[in-house]
Amino acid sequence: MSQNQFTVAVIGGGTMGAGIVEVAASAGHPVRLYDISAEAITRAIDGIRQRLESRVSRGKLSAEQAQALLSRITPATELSQLADAQLVIEAASERLEIKQALFSQLAEICSPSALLTSNTSSISITAIAAGIKHPERVAGLHFFNPAPVMKLVEVVSGLATSAEVVEQLCACVSRWGKQAVRCRSTPGFIVNRVARPYYAEAWRALEEQVASAEVIDAALRDGGGFPMGPLALTDLIGQDVNFAVTCSVFNAFWQDRRFLPSLLQQELAIAGRLGKKSGHGVYRWPVETQPELAEPTLAADAAAQVAISDNVTKLDGVLLLETCGETALALSVRHGCPVVVYDHSAGDTVVLAASATNSPAETDKAIYYFQQQGKKVLRIADYPGLLVWRTVAMLANEALDAVQKGVACAEDIDTAMRLGVNYPRGPLAWGESLGWGTVLRLLENLQQHYGERTLPPECTAAPKGATGDAS
């Protein structure tokens, strides 16, 4: 595949296909858009035209540039019209048999030097390439929605994909203004695999009635620094879509319990409460509810003498500890005094949980202490690992497992999670900054509580190349 403006073919006129057409045409390529439905092709091109007109009206693009871009897009109603394409990007239905049939036909129609790629987010590239001629030129080219805006592209190698093809695709993606990350074809690739704990821990907390959905989302958003709370994000993605991806990853990993789907999310999907697109999911849309903040019940008496030594804070007789994955009650029994545990906080909000043996006045001292530091305080039930810490630890451990199994390098995993789902930091850089020993200790304590759902502790160790700040 030469570096000149070669012809690109896109198969599928849906949201992703249309977005990829726009990306390729914006880079100056002649683009063939194929779909079995002529109406889908028309809708896709009309949608591109409307987006371009919006950019022209906002002064982001000239009318001449918009017209030139549209002139490079040609409808194709027969696969044979893609014969001269040097790069084919398939964005059709997420069904293996459909993709295999398409790629088998493309291998006969297109030149042996043409690169055949799939935008699949979950189907094995090895399976798609099985049985076709020259499987070494088949790869995954996974864009993120909306493709014209999102910078990340996962370049996925199947078992037969050649290193040269991967390099060609990465160079092409870079010329298109995107950031390529390399990964091996395994369930979920990088982003859809490593992101599972972000949703799973929130669903588990909601199922176990640890806190309301509003509090859980606020904890991760305002305390953890994530751009959106996990439950609101599943509403935005669509409960049916997010649940299907979770089930796909769960089944592809032979039903490993760390990817266990949520029965509560299944109920929402079955009920048609799909989130924003249906008007009702976890929340009613538009979302207007706010989390209830914790307030001292006896503010005048809440002030305490503060003593800090060896990273342990004492408020009069109350022990204030950052969570290590144990409950406040267990710590209170061990230390023989009232205990309040607090969550990792990277924002203006902190999450607290108190031992059931505390008096209200004892817990109030901790609430008041953080309020005096300008923090909003969210109180939840006594829950091992609280919300932010356990989520970050599980994300870091999942990312580390992907590194150790050769799915991708540490740098590409952190890049993928920052650009693909807008995490404030890459999970590996985050794990390193918090301390791998601390992450391990928290995971070991969670494993004591949950058993096999968490990864074996021996999987947690600092990965090669996971140094420095990935933010």
Q: Tell which residue, 31, 158, 11, has the closest CA to residue 99.
A: 11
> H/E element holding 307?
strand 306-309
Query: What's the confidence (pLDDT) of residue 310?
Result: 75
> Residue 205 maps to which CATH number?
1.10.1040.50
pLDDT in tens, 9-44: 999 999 999 999 999 999 999 999 999 999 999 999
Type of residue numbered 127? A
**Are 132 and 211 members of one domain?**
no
At 289, list the tokens. Answer: 């509810």
DSSP code at position 292 = P
- CA-only gyration radius of the chain, Å: 25
- Is 467 a member of any domain? no
Q: Are residues 56 and 154 in the same domain?
A: yes
Whether residue 248 sits in one domain with residue 353: no
Residues 370 and 412 in one domain: no
Residue 3 lies in a domain: no
CA distance 265 to 222: 23
CATH code: domain of residue 138: 3.40.50.720
- For residue 343, give the nearest of 361, 317, 366 by alpha carbon: 366
Residue 458 lies in a domain: no
Whole-angstrom Cα distance, residue 138 to residue 104? 11
- How far apart (Å, rounded) are the C-alpha atoms in residues 269 and 263? 10
The answer as to whether 406 is a domain residue is yes
Q: Which residues form the catalytic set?
A: 121, 142, 154, 192
Residue 167 in domain:
yes
Of 149, 184, 219, the domain-final residue: 184
Least confident span in 1-5, 130-134, 442-446: 1-5
Let me know whether 98 and 213 are in one domain.
Answer: no
For the ranges 76-80, 85-89, 230-234, 450-454, the lowest mean pLDDT is seen at: 450-454
Choose one of 379, 404, 429: the last residue of a domain: 379
Phi, psi dihedrals of residue 319, rounded to the nearest 5°: -90, 125
Tokens for 431, please give them. Answer: 């794990």
pLDDT average, residue stretch 231-249? 95
> Given CA atoms 228, 232, 238, 244 in this order, what sign does their dihedral have?
positive
Grouping H, G, I as helix, E, B as strand and the rest as coil, residue 322 is: strand
Q: Look up the CATH number of the domain holding residue 393.
A: 1.10.1040.10
Q: Could you tell me if 195 and 175 lie in one domain?
A: no
Q: Is the pLDDT of residue 212 over 70?
A: yes
Is 1 a domain residue? no
Last residue of a domain, one of 379, 406, 422: 379
Determine the average pLDDT of the residues in 277-298: 90
If one counts the domains in the chain, the total is 4
Q: What are phi and psi of 112, to 5 degrees?
A: -60, -20
pLDDT at residue 304 greater than cutoff 90 = no
Contact status, residue 323 vs residue 383, Cβ threshold 8 Å: no
pLDDT, tens digit (0-9, with 9 covering 90-100), for 357-400: 999 999 999 999 999 999 999 999 999 999 999 999 999 999 99
**Average pLDDT of every residue of the chain:** 92
37 and 66, same domain (yes or no): yes
| pLDDT band per the 50, 70, 90 thresholds, residue 470 | very low
Pick left, alpha or beta for residue 385 (phi over 0 → left; psi -120 to 50 → alpha; otherwise beta): left
Q: How far is CA 306 from the centre of its chain?
A: 40
Considering only CA atoms, which of 154, 170, 111, 159 is closest in space to residue 136?
Answer: 159
Q: Give yes or no: residues 151 and 32 share one domain.
A: yes
For the stretch 331-365, pLDDT in tens is 999 999 999 999 999 999 999 999 999 999 999 99
* Greatest C-alpha distance within the chain: 80
- Which pLDDT tens digit goes with each residue over 55-106? 999 999 999 999 999 999 999 999 999 999 999 999 998 899 999 999 999 9
More confident residue, 461 or 434: 434
Tell me: do 32 and 136 sit in the same domain: yes
Tokens 């091992």 belong to which residue?
A: 384
Are residues 210 and 155 both part of a single domain? no
Question: Domain of 341: which CATH number?
Answer: 3.30.750.190
Considering the domain boundaries, does residue 283 fall inside one?
no
- Residue 319 clears pLDDT 70, i.e. is over it: yes
**Domain span including residue 252:** 190-278
456 found inside a domain:
no
Are residues 64 and 146 both part of a single domain? yes
Check residue 2 and give its pLDDT. 58
Domain co-membership, 127 together with 165: yes
